[in-house]
Structure 1
Amino acid sequence: MATNPTTKKPAAAAAAEESTEPVTETAPARPARNPAETSEAVVGPAPVAGADPVRVKLSHHLTIDGTDYRPGAHILVSPDYARRLRRQGYATQV
């Protein structure tokens, strides 16, 4: 049978080491989110030169660059980004 070579501290010594001062930490503020506007701008990574943007329909809520897009929203994205969104299940083919 294996034994633990470390020794336990008595409860009184462990309690004395802990601070009795209340700790007040504030959570960091969340960045402001903007609801999506109906615009025809390409969102996400820029398309490669010569590639036409692709319209996709979102199947899940998605935040891109601080803007919220609801399920069912149509957005224009680069072909590569559209492929990645479809593979991850965020977009459907239009």
Structure 2
Amino acid sequence: MTTNATKKNTFAAATEPAATEDQAVTVIGPPLRAGQSPEKVRFAHHLRVGGVEVKPGDDAYVSPDYARQLRGSGYIARTRSQA
């Protein structure tokens, strides 16, 4: 039996909390455009975003455009996450 030596990035490892309020939050997926601020979303389904495994119930920051796209595809939970 062969094993895959490829290490998977997990959501928890990719989104470590910032040490201070001055540091920027980690945005997964497409980068923010000029003048945009990240939107916090809660995922409803398992998804791999930019090499990061996101599980149902995980909260993450994404660009507003990407959040709109994910909502249309049904990947964002209907309940709003608490900011």
- Given candidates 2, 9, 16, the residue that maps to 1:34 is 9
Unaligned runs of 5+ in 2: 17-24
TM-score (norm 2): 0.70
Deviation, 1:48, is: 1.0
Deviation, 1:73, is: 0.3
Unaligned runs of 5+ in 1: 1-28
Instruction: Output one character per residue of 1:16-60: Cα deviation in whole Å (capped at 9) or x when no partner.
Output: xxxxxxxxxxxxx79542111243400000111111100000000
TM-score (norm 1): 0.62
Aligned residues of 1:32 and 1:66 also touching (Cα < 8 A): no
Question: Partners of 1:30 and 1:64 in 2: how far apart?
Answer: 20
- Given candidates 51, 54, 78, the residue that maps to 2:36 is 51
Query: For residue 72 of structure 1, what is the aligned residue in structure 2?
Result: 57
Instruction: Give the counterpart letter for 1:54 in structure 2.
Output: E
Percent identity reads 39
The aligned length equals 66
